[in-house]
Amino acid sequence: MTLTLKIDATTTDDAIEAAIPYLHMRSHAIERRDDALAVENDHQVGTVLELHDVGGVDVLWSPTYGYALVNERSGGIGSSLVLDNGTAGTPEGAALCWQGGWIGRRVEAGEGDDYDTGEVYGGVDAETVLVAWDSHVKTPAPVATLRVL
């Protein structure tokens, strides 16, 4: 993973436009930068968004609120996947959601008394997803231990 750009109140339009090729993601970054600029005189805002390259997937990540806009580097304006806070615990988890298409998949894991089924609702990192189990608990689960139904 490579941190490509940190966006704060001082980040220029040119820097954002050079780093982010997707219209939706770029306009969101400019809006959040403008929000930071509006309150910067009264409060120290710091970094509002980070742009990460995770294996060819661009992740515009909010380190404060934990949400992400995700898109794969390609031609055109792109259609970003928006992941709400709590859906992806890290930029790598957001990329996993984009690449693996894990969100919404029904999975099973374990055997015997340990067996359960559930639905993937987010990603933590490249090897771990978040599962809402049918037994009414939510836990991180290693991808290697899951079987897709």
In-domain check, residue 92: no
Q: For the chain, how many structural domains are there in total?
A: 2
Q: Structural domain of residue 114, as residue ranges?
A: 106-148
pLDDT tens column, 74-133: 666 667 888 887 777 788 888 877 777 777 788 898 888 888 999 988 776 667 888 999
Q: What is the DSSP string of 73-134?
A: S-SSS--PEEE-TTTBSSHHHHHHHHHH--TT-EEEE--GGG-EEEEEEEEEETTEEEEEET
Instruction: Judge if 80 and 138 occupy the same domain.
Output: no
Instruction: Judge if 48 and 114 occupy the same domain.
Output: no
In-domain check, residue 98: no
pLDDT tens column, 28-40: 999 999 998 888 7
Confidence (pTM): 0.70
Is residue 94 within 8 A of residue 68, CB to CB? The reply is yes
- Give 104's strand partners: none
Rounded-to-10 torsion of CA 80, 58, 94, 99: 80
